[in-house]
Amino acid sequence: MLYHTTQDIPYWNERAYYAFSLQQIERIERVSAELNEMCIAAVGNVIENARYGELGIPKLAIPLIEHSWEGDAPSLYDRFDLWFDGVNEPKLLENNADTPTSLLEAAVIQWSWFEATRFGGDQYNSLHERLIAKWRLLTQTSKP
For residue 126, give Cα distances in angstroms to 79, 111, 130.
12, 10, 6
d(CA 15, CA 48): 46
Strand extents, DSSP E, 22-144: 78-83, 91-97
- The pLDDT assigned to 26 comes to 92
CB 66 within 8 A of CB 49: no
- The pLDDT assigned to 9 comes to 79
Taking only the tens of pLDDT, the chain with its 144 residues reads 555 677 887 777 777 788 888 899 999 999 999 999 999 999 999 999 999 999 999 999 999 999 999 998 888 888 889 999 999 999 999 998 877 777 777 777 777 788 888 877 777 777 878 888 988 988 887 655
- The pLDDT assigned to 4 comes to 64
- The pLDDT assigned to 48 comes to 97
- The pLDDT assigned to 51 comes to 97
- The pLDDT assigned to 129 comes to 83
- The pLDDT assigned to 110 comes to 76
**CB neighbourhood size of 126 (10 A):** 10
Q: Are strands 78-83 and 5-6 parallel, antiparallel or unpaired?
A: unpaired
pTM: 0.77
d(CA 43, CA 70): 12
